[in-house]
Structure 1
Amino acid sequence: MIWEEDGLYISKCPEIEVSSCGNSPQDALENIHEAINLYIENARALGMMEEIELALRARHKFTSMIEVEA
């Protein structure tokens, strides 16, 4: 998911709680790919891949927008 906030584009992979940002949606997408790859590389090195694989392979995923008053 990518959204604009204060002039930056924020990207997030909620399944593994990794975030990044960029000056454009494309930059944010490229940066989140890099962040995810680094996260997975470190998870492998630390023996944490089983938890991550479960999150990434979940059959049912839901995303919803919720509007709140600030």
Structure 2
Amino acid sequence: MKIKLTEEVWKEGSMFIANCPELDIPACGETIAEAKKNLIEVINIQIGEMKKLGTFKENLEKAGFDLANKLEVISLDKELMEFNNILVTA
């Protein structure tokens, strides 16, 4: 299953914040690349924990995902300070 997630990146003070609004997961780093890397790591950890608890599909449905749609395929694009899609394979 591949799901579409949004990656938002902005700067606060000296740190960059990367956020996934669909899952309400933030991460930060000293560079844009580090913030994005940390966000992907936190998302993967969160998905792993949801799977362990048996709440993965339930939480995705609550976040508005249509799990019946098998055609969603998203790529990973990284651009400075833009809204981008990231790929999370579940």
Normalising to structure 2: TM-score of the pair? 0.59
In the comparison of the two structures, how many residue pairs are matched? Answer: 60
Computed over aligned residues only, the root mean square deviation of the Cα atoms, in angstroms, reads: 2.1
Greater per-residue helix proportion: 1
Greater per-residue strand proportion: 2
Q: Which has the larger radius of gyration?
A: 1
Q: Which runs of 5+ in 2 are unaligned?
A: 1-7, 70-82, 84-90
Query: 1:53 is matched by which residue type in structure 2?
Result: L
**Structure with more relative contact order (C-alpha pairs < 8 Å, separation 6 or more):** 2
Name which of 48, 56, 76 aligns with 1:41: 48
Q: Percent identity?
A: 30
Q: Which runs of 5+ in 1 are unaligned?
A: 64-70
